[in-house]
Amino acid sequence: MKDLKYLELLSRDFPTISAASSEIINLEAILNLPKGTEHFITDLHGEFDAFDHVVRNASGVIRKKVEEIFGHKLRESEKRELCTLIYYPESKLRLIKRSEKEINDWYKAVLIKLVAVCSNVSSKYTRSKVRKALPAEYSYIIQELMHESGSEPNKQAYTSSIIETIVSTGSADNFIIAICNLIQRLTIDSLHVVGDIYDRGPGAHLIMDLLCEYHNVDIQWGNHDVVWMGAAAGSEACMANVLRIALRYANLETLEEGYGINLLPLATFAMDEYHDDPCTIFKPKLGDSEGKIKQKQIRLLSQMHKAISIIQFKLEGQIIKRNPSFEMDDRMLLHLVNYEKGTINLNGTEYELRDKNFPTINPTDPYTLTEEEQEVVEKLIQNFQNSEKFSRHIKKLYSNGSLYLVRNSNLLYHGSVPLNKDGSFKSINICGEELAGKALFDKIDQLVRLAYFGDREHDFKQYSLDFMWYLWCGPYSPPFDKNKMATFERYFTTEKELHKETKGNYYYLKDSKEICNMMLKEFGVNAQYSHIVNGHIPVKTAKGESPIKAEGKLLVIDGGFSKAYQQETGIAGFTLIYNSHGMQLVQHEPFENKQKAIEEGLDIISETSVIDFTSNRKMVRDTDIGKSLKEQIVDLKQLLEAYKVGLLKEKFTL
């Protein structure tokens, strides 16, 4: 029997035999419900509109529900309109009200359809869970409409009366919006974001706003997330990388509009130091912004881009000097430059530099910031750390995030598990300790949290900040895992062989079923139908590559949400749906835009592939939550026994 003190604490919540018995009955019933639907998504890279749409339509699940419920009862145009209304209720309502002549009749008809969809998506949950998800102002009415059958004449009149009253009191718009949002919420029970929310696209802050409000979400950190987390923690090198990437893609919306980061100190410094420098090789990649940005702005962005890049290379050199255990001396390149000739000596070969103007570098001390550079860095770090919204988003990444997650027999991580050539786990020296596999991941998770939450006086505070940068670009960093990040070479040299970044052994061994089973076992996943869900690796579908690897054990679901990758991948991303019937991989075509989706009912064209299908539906008892509920039932039964044998006395309310 459990420790009596524990049972005494449990008795506070269940003070009587009847209370404990009722909870056991409730939990046993929940175990026999179908498992909730899990939604996996990765490598969002700031593409808010596409992400928002995929979350709203649940990777096509809502469309399938509408098809199942209404089939041939509705025309295709009507089903498309109903789906769009569920996805974007406010915007679609405004559009419909401009063209619909008999709006009250439309309200009544659409309310009946929405109630039918809502009843369907809520059927796998307890009434208690559904009730908690309901908007307070319409909770009672929605429950009545969902649970009262219209087959009996009296009930039909009752439900019709409710709908009539909703319309006649002018509440239809608000009610429709509420029930559409409820359908979206109930369709997906939990959302897994397998890394890389930030960089490249303009809306990372909007994605984080959505995730902060999402009912059940977890995040597995990618290298593009970690570098922003490092900037928030106070890593100057991480901050420099964040700014460089934003300037490289002329993507300042998240920084300036989202987080209110003041870039004026950098702009002023760049104009002073590089006023006569065209900074040609630092011209930003404009993409969709081509032709929309004035030449004067492009010149300034280029100057800022060069200024922060040089600062970055200096700061990174300082980190490498402080941490010989990182084994990254080959990334210290500034001292290899011949500043008079404008060349660099790499591996015994002299290469000409594409840009030879380095006004802020002292050739005899190339890794030290000038006073002006140091002042800029201090002001920028202060801006990052004083942004209230940025701080809220970073805390969400910490509270709901981790380097990996094991959930319902699936192992989720963003990049890799570092391996040796023979497939064994690669050991990495952290704080003087050699760690590999799960132990390595757990230690990294601790360091990431220490970097942000640790006291400045902590012995490993500086090391943890430096390690945040290592996670971004270190050769054996799980979210990165390449021999180098060739940033300097890509900017300053034309020789393609210098630009090559060699991937770690994981990327060549991951297609082996035996290797994947070894990794699953290492992380405690031993179920027959278990998978690794992996982001970070763009799947080149256009070249015939499949996201399903290692005989189905490994699912690589980065298919190119980022527009920068779509030409290479040929699609706009994969998502994964795991419901009580099994696991389905969903391949998405590029999302045109939100306006077309609302006005024309254009959905993202998606193709679904079944990975695992079971004729016996998975129930809550088969999940991690089910395991926890079973443990609670055991504890409650022991509490019952303690009451019955007199070890504890019931506490009746008089």
What pLDDT, in 10s, does the model give residues 170-218? 999 999 999 999 999 999 999 999 999 999 889 999 999 999 999 999 9
pLDDT at residue 640, rounded to an integer: 95
Same-domain check for residues 331 and 455: yes
Asked if residue 29 is part of any domain, the answer here is: yes
Asked if 364 and 411 sit in the same domain, the reply is: yes
Per-residue pLDDT tens over the stretch 102-155: 999 999 999 999 999 999 999 888 888 888 888 888 888 888 888 765 556 667
What b/e sequence results for 134-165 when a residue is b if at least 16 CB atoms lie within 10 Å of its CB, and e otherwise?
A: beeebbebbeebbebeeeeeeeeeebeebbee
The span from the CA of 451 to the CA of 463, in Å, is 8
Q: 585 and 634, same structural domain?
A: no
**Residue 348 belongs to some domain of the structure:** yes
Which secondary structure element, helix H or strand E, spans residue 613, and what is its range? strand 606-613
632 phi, psi to nearest 5 deg:
-65, -40
> Are the CB atoms for 224 and 241 separated by under 8 Å?
no
| Number of Cβ within a 10 Å radius of residue 645 | 9
Give the C-alpha separation, 418 to 351, whole Å. 32
Tokens 């990372």, residue? 204
Clarify whether residues 357 and 451 are in a common domain.
Answer: yes
**Beta carbons within 8 Å of 96's beta carbon, 6+ residues apart:** 81, 85, 103, 106
- Residue 136 DSSP one-character state: G
Residues 503 and 572 both lie in one domain: no
Q: Do 358 and 467 have their domain in common?
A: yes
Q: Do 13 and 152 fall into the same domain?
A: no
Structurally, how many domains does the chain consist of?
A: 3
Same domain? 463 vs 591: no
Please give the pLDDT value at position 153: 64
Note whether 649 and 12 are within 8 A (CB).
no
- Quick one: residue 646, left, alpha or beta (phi over 0 = left, psi -120 to 50 = alpha)? left
If asked whether residues 314 and 415 sit together in one domain, one would say yes
Is 521 within the bounds of a domain?
Answer: no
What is the maximum span of the chain, computed from C-alpha positions, in angstroms? Answer: 94
Q: Tell me: do 368 and 460 sit in the same domain.
A: yes
Asked whether the beta carbons of 406 and 524 are under 8 A apart, the reply is yes
Residue 209 lies in a domain: no
Which CA distances in Å does 554 have to 487, 516, 550? 30, 7, 6
Note whether residue 365 is domain-resident: yes
Q: Is residue 153 part of a domain?
A: yes
Is there a contact between 468 and 229 (Cβ–Cβ < 8 Å)?
A: yes
As a whole number of angstroms, the distance between CA 583 and CA 516 comes to: 18
Pairing of strands 606-613, 582-588: antiparallel
Q: Which two tokens stand for residue 210?
A: 């959505």
Strands in 232-362 per DSSP E: 337-338, 343-346, 349-352
Residues of the chain with pLDDT under 70: 1-2, 148-154, 288-292, 542, 559-560, 562-572, 592, 604-608, 654
Domain annotation covers residue 520:
no
**Eight-class DSSP state of 414:** S
> Are 343 and 242 contained in the same domain?
yes
The SS3 call for residue 200 is coil
Query: Which residue type is seen at 152?
Result: E
pTM: 0.93
Q: Are 568 and 629 found together in one domain?
A: no
**Nearest partner of 473 among 481, 465, 461, judged by Cα:** 481
Residue 486 in domain: yes
Burial class of residue 83 in the structure, from the number of CB atoms within 10 Å of its CB (0-12 exposed, 13-18 middle, 19+ buried)? buried
Domain of residue 75, residue span: 38-194+535-618
Cβ 353 vs Cβ 343: under 8 Å: yes
Q: Which positions ≥6 away from 64 have C-beta within 8 Å? A: none
Looking at residue 642, its pLDDT comes to: 94
Half-sphere CA count of 554, side-chain side, radius 13 A: 29
- Find all residues with CB under 8 Å of 520, minimum gap 6, and list them: 411, 526, 530, 532, 553
Give all strands (DSSP E) within 409-525, no chain letters. Answer: 410-413, 428-430, 433-435
Look at residue 224 and give its three-state secondary structure: helix
Letter for the amino acid at 609?
S
**Rg of the chain, C-alpha, whole Å:** 28
Task: Calculate ∠ Cα 455-461-462, nearest 5°.
Answer: 135
